[in-house]
């Protein structure tokens, strides 16, 4: 057992979060994470409507009695999803934990808090973390440059970002991006975090509702095989390196516009990757940490290895560094 402020704030056994993952954060994975004692997040926008999200929450509840949360990703969009309706669906479902990401969550906090929902806000810079704290979130998840998905535009890796954020925050903070094992959790705690959030490691578990060939592609890939797409558009995303992501990078680097890559980056193609198992079919997120992922275990095994290993590292290997 490891116990931090994060465990107390969110009422979970282990200081480990499974971050929201488009097309992956469904009941199968999230309930397994909840059963393991970590905190899983359903991904709201994976569901086509707020009603469908309500049904997915019910499906998750049928599989576990432990707490879980919902990720609400608020990204700039020409036709934004009805965020307010998703927020209401979360509140009405009785879920009491939300992971917000993508933009300042301030406008959503009063209603969440009025309903007793705790807000864990994920962001990629110290200034955004401080702003979120001022806006009243209950905890922050700080995402370093290593991460899968959106690392922001500052390119500050976790080794600097985590302690820099810890110096400025008084609320609990979890470190995110590049974590997959016990060494990572211990280092996050040493840097001032109260736990870790992981995406790619949970994508690569038996319970993740993703085609096995994609998990095998993560295991086979090294830390060097990711691409940063949308850099020139200042909406950077770290994704698996494949023929499609490399083509997108090339087109935008040559001065192309979003219109020129729209078909290549279509969400439907990314979804088909996970469902059909062809890693070259579209754009899909994966982090540098894939270089540290060598197997496809169960969620319970991942969490147990991390917690047991972190305890051993702290009480044995690190304790030996200090002369008696």
Ligand X SMILES: Cc1cc2nc3c(=O)[nH]c(=O)nc-3n(C[C@H](O)[C@H](O)[C@H](O)COP(=O)(O)O)c2cc1C
Work out whether 19 is an interface residue with ligand X (CB under 6 A). Answer: yes
Contact 225, 241 (CB under 8 A): yes
- β-partners of residue 141 are 122, 174
Window of 7-15, 17-25, 52-60, 88-96 that interacts with ligand X by CB under 6 A: 17-25
Task: Output DSSP code: residue 108.
Answer: G
C-beta of 210 vs 320, nearer to ligand X: 210
Work out whether 199 is an interface residue with ligand X (CB under 6 A). Answer: yes
- Which residue among 54, 81, 105, 178 contacts ligand X (CB under 6 A)? 178
Work out whether 121 is an interface residue with ligand X (CB under 6 A). Answer: no
C-beta of 223 vs 304, nearer to ligand X: 223
Output the furthest CA–CA distance in the chain (Å, rounded).
Answer: 64
Rounded (10°) CA dihedral 85, 91, 95, 96: 130
For ligand X (CB under 6 A), the number of binding residues is 30
- Which residue among 32, 90, 101, 273 contacts ligand X (CB under 6 A)? 101
φ/ψ of residue 229, rounded to 5: -95, 160
Of 209, 165, 172, 215, the residue nearest 191 (C-alpha): 165
How many whole angstroms separate alpha carbon 201 and alpha carbon 84? 31
- x-marked contacts with ligand X along 235-274 as a string, rule CB under 6 A: ----------------------------------------
- Which residue among 248, 289, 306, 310 contacts ligand X (CB under 6 A)? 289
Work out whether 177 is an interface residue with ligand X (CB under 6 A). Answer: yes
Window of 16-24, 157-165, 254-262, 313-321 that interacts with ligand X by CB under 6 A: 16-24
- Which residue among 6, 10, 112, 179 contacts ligand X (CB under 6 A)? 179
Q: Which position's Cβ is nearest ligand X? A: 199
Work out whether 230 is an interface residue with ligand X (CB under 6 A). Answer: no
Contact 270, 242 (CB under 8 A): no
Rounded (10°) CA dihedral 302, 303, 304, 305: 50
Work out whether 203 is an interface residue with ligand X (CB under 6 A). Answer: yes
Residues 56-95 that bind ligand X (CB under 6 A): 71, 73
Looking up tokens 């009243």 gives 136
C-beta of 35 vs 146, nearer to ligand X: 146
Residues 21-40 that bind ligand X (CB under 6 A): 21-22, 24
Tell me the CA distances in angstroms from 25 to 33, 125, 181, 313, one per residue in order.
Answer: 10, 24, 20, 30
How many whole angstroms separate alpha carbon 60 and alpha carbon 41? 10
Contact 70, 99 (CB under 8 A): yes
Work out whether 226 is an interface residue with ligand X (CB under 6 A). Answer: no
φ/ψ of residue 240, rounded to 5: -60, 145
Residues at the contact surface with ligand X, assessed by CB under 6 A: 19-22, 24, 43, 71, 73, 101, 122, 143, 146-149, 176-179, 197-201, 203, 284-287, 289
């Amino acid at each position: 057992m490891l116990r931090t402020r994060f465990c107390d704030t969110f009422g979970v056994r282990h200081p480990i979060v499974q971050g929201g993952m488009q097309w992956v954060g469904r009941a199968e994975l999230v309930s397994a994470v909840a059963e393991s004692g970590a905190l899983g997040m359903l991904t709201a926008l994976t569901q086509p409507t707020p009603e469908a999200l309500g049904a997915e929450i019910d499906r998750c509840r049928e599989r576990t009695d432990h707490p879980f949360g919902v990720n609400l990703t608020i990204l700039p969009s020409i036709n934004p999803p009805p965020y307010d309706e998703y927020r209401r669906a979360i509140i009405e479902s009785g879920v009491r934990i939300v992971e917000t990401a993508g933009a300042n969550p301030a406008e959503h906090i009063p209603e969440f808090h009025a309903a007793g929902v705790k807000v864990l806000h994920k962001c990629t810079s110290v200034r955004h973390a401080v702003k979120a704290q001022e806006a009243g979130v209950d905890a922050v998840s700080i995402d370093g440059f290593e991460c899968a998905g959106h690392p922001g535009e500052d390119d500050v890796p976790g080794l600097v970002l985590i302690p820099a954020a810890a110096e400025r925050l008084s609320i609990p903070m979890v470190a995110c991006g590049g974590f997959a094992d016990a060494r990572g959790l211990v280092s996050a705690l040493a840097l001032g975090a109260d736990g870790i959030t992981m995406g790619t490691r949970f994508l690569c578990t038996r319970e993740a509702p993703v085609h096995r060939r994609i998990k095998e592609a993560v295991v086979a890939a090294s830390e060097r095989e990711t691409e940063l797409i949308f850099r020139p558009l200042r909406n950077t995303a770290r994704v698996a390196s494949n023929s499609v992501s490399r083509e997108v990078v090339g087109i935008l680097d040559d001065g192309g516009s979003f219109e020129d890559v729209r078909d290549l980056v279509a969400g439907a193609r990314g979804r088909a990757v996970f469902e059909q198992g062809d890693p070259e079919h579209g754009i899909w997120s994966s982090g540098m940490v894939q270089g540290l992922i060598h197997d496809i275990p169960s969620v319970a095994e991942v969490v147990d290895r991390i917690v047991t290993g972190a305890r051993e590292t702290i009480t044995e290997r690190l304790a030996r560094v200090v002369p008696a």
